[in-house]
Amino acid sequence: MSADDLLEPDRFEDTPHPRERRELVGHGVAEKTILDSYRSGRMHHAWIVGGEEGIGKATLAYRAARFILVNSDPHSEAVQNAADMSVDADAPAARRLAQQAHPDLFVLRRGFTKDGRNLMAEISVNEARKLVSFFNTTAGEGGWRIAIVDTADDLNLNAANALLKVLEEPPPRSLFFILSTAPKRLMSTIRSRCRTLLLKPLDAGEVLEVLAGLPDLTGEAARDDLRRIADAAGGSVRRAAAMLSEGSVEMREVVVGMLDRLPDLDFAAVHGLAERVAGRDGTERFDLMIGVIQDWLHQRLTLGAARGDTRLAAWAGLWEKTARTVREAEIYNLDKRPLVLSIFSDLAAATRG
């Protein structure tokens, strides 16, 4: 495994990268939408694939890219008769994609810091310029050129503007799959040039199905334990993976209980939680805590939008602040204790209004 593999932000320990996954679970309607568009000969050049973290956005994007690179003629018999976007794993283009060696696929994501040891906190304009250069060249195999942006939430302003420039004047036979956990917060000028596909969280049975296909991750976990984890994962396989560690279900209940009591804060409990998620051995517990908090904020945003809640802007701002500070803490290996205290203090203040 290369350094690149070890630091891929969308690779969870003991699980295959989305480009390596052969099965797509739970998103058949979205897959058919892309397939039907492709074989119609009127494929939209840019797609925003939106949805919560860990539900299969990248898996769908790589699956579509793989199918199109293998089947470059949308009018071919193979495309016209396809039931889905699966392909033969031994197809040369599929093998090159899995090996990150296909000349006509570009993945735009966070680059490395100058010392090469960590990922940057955002996608820089220098990384985005590589995408621009990619589309300024001729397709290596004479077919489509495809970019996957993973994720657009990480783009800084200059990088977003560089992407926009390519979207405004796309070369022939170019495709973009732009992943985002919050498509509505992307630049309106980017959204207006894309077709948006919103993926729903998986149901518990679908999460369980994915977990059953990941023996390196699940190990000797009992089926009943996996079922309870799938029920509690909120539709996210990534969250379910984080919950496989010992005590994770109990940990989730602790965090949910603290959120339910807001705006009241038990500072001793918050300090105790901060200690549990701090340090190198607390990484999985920290990821689980953040996942529960993000679910809680998402519910407030959804309900607030429906009810015209005056605190909607505050919830949205807190979502963005939490995501940003968590990413920075992970990139720069910061002490997570102050972060936990700050997050819960902000949640309590927003709840009071």
- 186 and 266 in a single domain? The answer is no
Look at residues 136, 169, 198 and tell me which one is the last residue of a structural domain: 198
Q: How confident is the model at residue 320 (pLDDT cuts 50, 70, 90)?
A: confident
Lowest mean pLDDT among 54-58, 85-89, 145-149, 291-295: 291-295
Residue 4 has pLDDT above 80, yes or no: no
207/187 Cα distance (integer angstroms)? 32
Look at residues 181, 198, 215 and tell me which one is the last residue of a structural domain: 198
Rounding to the nearest 10 degrees, give the CA dihedral for residues 284, 289, 291, 293. Answer: -170
Lowest mean pLDDT among 49-63, 194-208, 286-300: 286-300
pLDDT value of residue 9: 61
The pTM assigned to this predicted structure is 0.84
Q: What is the rounded average pLDDT of the residues 50-57?
A: 94
Whether residue 32 lies inside any domain: the answer is yes
Token pair recorded at residue 297? 């904020």
- 194 and 290 in a single domain? The answer is no
Whether residue 179 lies inside any domain: the answer is yes
- 23 and 166 in a single domain? The answer is yes
Torsion sign over Cα 79, 81, 87, 90:
negative
Q: Are 265 and 344 in contact (CB under 8 A)?
A: yes
Whether residue 226 lies inside any domain: the answer is no
- 315 and 176 in a single domain? The answer is no
Whether residue 223 lies inside any domain: the answer is no
Look at residues 198, 228, 263 and tell me which one is the last residue of a structural domain: 198
pLDDT in tens, 234-268: 899 988 888 887 678 788 889 999 999 999 999 99
pLDDT value of residue 157: 96
Whether residue 342 lies inside any domain: the answer is yes
Q: What is the rounded average pLDDT of the residues 207-212?
A: 95
Residue 2 has pLDDT above 50, yes or no: no
Q: What is the rounded average pLDDT of the residues 229-237?
A: 90
Q: How confident is the model at residue 5 (pLDDT cuts 50, 70, 90)?
A: very low
Q: How confident is the model at residue 287 (pLDDT cuts 50, 70, 90)?
A: confident
Backbone torsions φ then ψ of 49, nearest 5 degrees? -105, 105
Residue 318 has pLDDT above 80, yes or no: yes
92/74 Cα distance (integer angstroms)? 18
Q: What is the rounded average pLDDT of the residues 58-82?
A: 97
- 143 and 250 in a single domain? The answer is no
Question: How many structural domains is the chain composed of?
Answer: 2
pLDDT in tens, 81-122: 999 999 999 999 999 999 999 999 999 999 887 777 777 889
- 60 and 183 in a single domain? The answer is yes
- 255 and 166 in a single domain? The answer is no
pLDDT in tens, 303-316: 888 788 888 888 88
Whether residue 154 lies inside any domain: the answer is yes
Q: How confident is the model at residue 19 (pLDDT cuts 50, 70, 90)?
A: very high
- 154 and 251 in a single domain? The answer is no
Q: How many residues does the chain have?
A: 353
pLDDT in tens, 133-189: 999 988 888 799 999 999 999 999 999 999 999 999 999 999 999 999 989 999 999
Lowest mean pLDDT among 68-82, 202-216, 264-278, 311-325: 311-325
Edge-to-edge strands, sheet with 46-50:
105-108, 145-149, 174-180, 46-50, 195-198
Residue 279 has pLDDT above 80, yes or no: no
pLDDT value of residue 15: 85
CATH no. for residue 13? 3.40.50.300
Q: Are 284 and 277 in contact (CB under 8 A)?
A: no
Share above pLDDT 90 across residues of the chain, in percent, rounded to a whole number:
65
Whether residue 81 lies inside any domain: the answer is yes
Q: What is the rounded average pLDDT of the residues 305-334?
A: 85
Q: How confident is the prediction for the chain on average, in pLDDT?
A: 91
- 187 and 252 in a single domain? The answer is no
pLDDT value of residue 267: 93
Whether residue 237 lies inside any domain: the answer is no
Those residues whose C-beta lies under 8 Å from the C-beta of residue 343, and which sit 6 or more positions away, are 293, 322, 325
- 193 and 321 in a single domain? The answer is no
264/266 Cα distance (integer angstroms)? 7
Residue 13 has pLDDT above 80, yes or no: no
Q: Find the domain containing 169 and state its range.
A: 3-198
Cα–Cα distances (Å) from 178 to 18, 23, 57, 182, 209, in that order, read 15, 20, 9, 11, 26
- 129 and 253 in a single domain? The answer is no
- 29 and 121 in a single domain? The answer is yes
